[in-house]
Amino acid sequence: MSLIPKSLIPASQFSNLFSALFSHYRRHPLQLLALALMIMLATMLWAGVNHLTTQARASLGQSEQAVAARSQVERVDGQALAVADFVTLRRAGLCVIPWLEVERPGQAGRLVGIDPLAADCFAQTAPAAGNNSPELIDSPEPSKKSEPAWTPTLNGEPFIDISEAAALAQNVASRNVRFSLLIVPPEPASALLADYRMTGFSLGPDTGELGDSFLLNLDALGFLVLLITALLLRSVYQLGMAQRRDSFALLQRFGVMPSAINRVLLVEILLLALLSVVPGVWLGRLLAGTVGGGFGQALDSLFDTPLYAGQSENWLTPIVTMMAIVLAVCLAQNVRALLLRMAAVWPFALPAKLLTGFGFGMRPWPWLAMPLAAAGRR
Amino acid sequence: MGQGAGVTEPLLKVRGLGKHFASAGQTVNVLSGLELTLAPGESLALMGRSGSGKSTLLNILCGLEQPDAGFVSIAGEHFAADSSASGPNQQRWAMLRRQRIGVVFQEANLMPALSLLDNVRLRASLAGQSDQYCGDWLKRLGIGGLAQRYPDQVSGGQRQRAALAMVFAMRPSLILADEPTGSLDARTALEVAGELFYQQAASGCALVLATHDSALAARCGQRLDLAQLGA
Ligand SMILES: Nc1ncnc2c1ncn2[C@@H]1O[C@H](COP(=O)(O)OP(=O)(O)O)[C@@H](O)[C@H]1O
Ligand SMILES: [Mg+2]
């Protein structure tokens, strides 16, 4: 399929027309370089952030699953659990373990008191292996299940006997004491007594909410990076177009149809985008890998679990996405109108206003483009 | 295509041509009932003070502007005013400009980012002509030594010589020149105009020259004063 219909311009003249139009960049190589670098930078930052977000999302999903694998018992009537509940449930033949969490103000960390004897049935029915996510509680090998001394660790800190924890709890404000009953979900679930229900059990802060807000921030960062670089790119591209407008008029006088000129410009920006986006994605992965190390450690200590899962291999999505964005940004005539519409939606109001100059009585494009224009003009 | 028809038919025929502009609430009739006939090899001077419609007529004759009334026939292609702006007609006009009609304006005739030689090559290749004589055309117009220069690296007179080289390299049937020496000093203008008339005679193409210089107009076979026509 020929890109240029014969009626517009013979196919043999496509390369002539292309090189005639491209001559602008041959005479202003810095402008071309600025365009390529900007596409590359936008791609690198966006692909990098996007890569991290994808990884973090996958990892958080995994760890949430792991946490959700633990269950606890709650009273249906909403009352706090007491020792009597433990007795009732144990008598019903259910595997429950008392879990007394005591926060000690002024001293780092919390203590968890458990009943080693009650923990025995827990160890025997430890969550099935095959879950590749980190275990919250270390459990013994199945072969050692007969040994009563089960000493799980949390943060490397040993659990203490529940009686010790209860003694400590006497000296601590009640809001710093949490009593829970962990349960091995019975088969069938209906075996649970009618007065109780099961919910997920998680340690410490709710990783779900924290993780969500963290991901939202990453998404917002990616969006802002993309918005700013895209607008810079557009201003440089539009500057070049303004400088070439006389050439377009001249070519039209030479008998080249405007549609043929547009097609050549489309091919030009497609080539430029492809040549800049591919290395940009590569650099983005490099960035995500470099940042990912320290970033992963930060995540780990934030959530007590290894979260950064490493690199996956998806090239097509970022390349296609960035190509589409570059085309849209450079060729769409109404990006400013789009931004003004976005300014009506409050989260985008300030950046959109800043970038369009709307409400500030100025046009920002020339200012944004000026240093690059100076470079491109030689 | 159409070459044979040129022998019996005139190269350029204009009948009842009208054009008006609406500006500041009132319409200005720039051209009305204009008639022209030009055979291959002939030349016509369009005269008249500034604002009399010379540029408007030349733009209509190459399809860059559309008339309101009348009929234009060029090199076997016929255009009526009512359908002149249609897509197929725009394509026929583009084809004529590419291959048959060379246009020279007062300035800005060259692609700024191409060397003089590359400008001539581009024009020749768009017209379907071999680009092997492009250097010769620059030599014939006296700027052979400037082939590799960019338009902003040569003088105004040299730029107009290059523009003429471009037009002649396409081997046109008709040249439309809109005050091609208007921005040059008197002596350079005389030299460039001399080249234009010399090469036009040598190549046998027709010429429509818009000028308010009566000395230049006197060198054309026909003269048409648009100011008198409109008054
Ligand atoms: N696009 C336009 N809109 C309104 N008026 C125009 C336009 N183009 C030309 N005119 C008017 O048409 C008249 C003829 O212009 P032009 O053909 O450029 O004259 P000339 O080339 O002889 O100096 C002028 O009065 C000019 O103001
Ligand atoms: Mg004029």
Say whether B31 sits in a helix, a strand or coil.
Answer: strand
Angle between helices A207-253 and A258-303 (to 10 degrees): 160
Q: A with B: how many residue pairs have Cβ under 8 Å apart?
A: 60
Report pLDDT for B11.
93
Distances from the Cα of A322 to the Cαs of A47, A124, A227, A280, B126, in angstroms? 9, 52, 12, 10, 35
Among candidates B148, B58, B172, B42, which has minimal Cα distance to B106? B58
Which ligand 1 atom sits closest to the C-alpha of B179? 21
Report pLDDT for A364.
41
Residues ≥6 apart with Cβ < 8 Å to A36: A272, A275, A276
Q: Is the dihedral of CA A282, A283, A286, A291 positive or negative?
A: negative
User: Which residues on A lie below 8 Å from B96 (Cβ)?
Assistant: 255
Rounded-to-integer distance, Cα B122 and Cα B126, Å: 6
B59 in contact with chain A, both atoms CB, cutoff 8 A = no
Rounded-to-integer distance, Cα A292 and Cα A309, Å: 9
Among candidates A11, A33, A56, A31, which has minimal Cα distance to A298? A56
Rounded-to-integer distance, Cα A13 and Cα B127, Å: 10
Q: What's the one-letter identity of residue A217?
A: N
B5 in contact with chain A, both atoms CB, cutoff 8 A = no
The H-or-E segment that residue B225 falls in is strand B222-225
Max Cα–Cα distance, chain A, nearest Å: 96
Report pLDDT for B136.
92
Residue B167 near residue B203 (C-beta atoms within 8 A): no
Ligand 1 centroid–CA B178 distance in Å is: 13
Residue B66 near residue B85 (C-beta atoms within 8 A): yes
User: Mean pLDDT in runs of 10 for chain A (378 residues)?
Assistant: 50 84 93 92 87 76 61 84 84 83 68 73 51 39 38 48 81 80 76 80 58 74 83 88 93 92 91 93 87 62 49 75 88 64 57 49 41 41
pTM, 2 dp: 0.69
| Token pair in block for residue A246 | 């006389």
pLDDT above 60 (res B6): no
Among candidates A316, A206, A343, A272, which has minimal Cα distance to A39? A272
DSSP string, A174-234: GGGEEEEEEE---SSGGGS-TTEEEEE---SS-HHHHHHHHHHHHHHHHHHHHHHHHHHHH
Rounded-to-integer distance, Cα B90 and Cα A7, Å: 11
Peptide bond into A205 cis (omega under 30): no
Residue A291: what are its φ and ψ, rounded to 5°?
-65, -35
Closest residue, chain B, to A254 (C-alpha): B98
Residues ≥6 apart with Cβ < 8 Å to B60: B17, B19, B31, B66, B67, B72
Report pLDDT for A377.
42
Ligand 1 site, residue B30, Cβ cutoff 6 A: yes
Q: Which of B94, B118, B150 sits opposite A255 (nearest CB)?
A: B94
| Token pair in block for residue A251 | 């070519």
**Domain residue spans in chain A?**
11-66+208-376, 71-200
Rounded-to-integer distance, Cα B155 and Cα A204, Å: 80
Distances from the Cα of A8 to the Cαs of A3, A5, B119, B175, in angstroms? 10, 6, 20, 22
Ligand 1 site, residue B23, Cβ cutoff 6 A: yes
End-to-end CA distance of chain B: 39
Report pLDDT for B36.
93
Residue A109 near residue A304 (C-beta atoms within 8 A): no
Report pLDDT for A138.
40
Which ligand 1 atom sits closest to the C-alpha of B23? 4
Residues A96-105 have pLDDT tens digits of 888 887 877 6
B106 in contact with chain A, both atoms CB, cutoff 8 A = no
Rounded-to-integer distance, Cα B102 and Cα A254, Å: 8
Residue with tokens 């968890």: A112
Report pLDDT for A108.
53
Say whether A22 sits in a helix, a strand or coil.
Answer: helix
Q: Which residues pair with B21 in a beta bridge?
A: B28
Residue B67 near residue B17 (C-beta atoms within 8 A): yes
Residue A14: what are its φ and ψ, rounded to 5°?
-60, -45
ipTM of the prediction: 0.91
Ligand 1 site, residue B29, Cβ cutoff 6 A: no
Mean pLDDT check: name the lowest of A350-364, B44-58, B165-179.
A350-364
B111 in contact with chain A, both atoms CB, cutoff 8 A = yes
Q: Which residue has the higher pLDDT, B216 or A203?
A: B216
Rounded-to-integer distance, Cα B63 and Cα A258, Å: 14
- Other Cβ atoms less than 10 A from the Cβ of A208: the count is 15
User: Which residues on B lie below 8 Å from A17 (Cβ)?
Assistant: 126
Residues A281-303 have pLDDT tens digits of 999 888 888 876 665 565 555 55
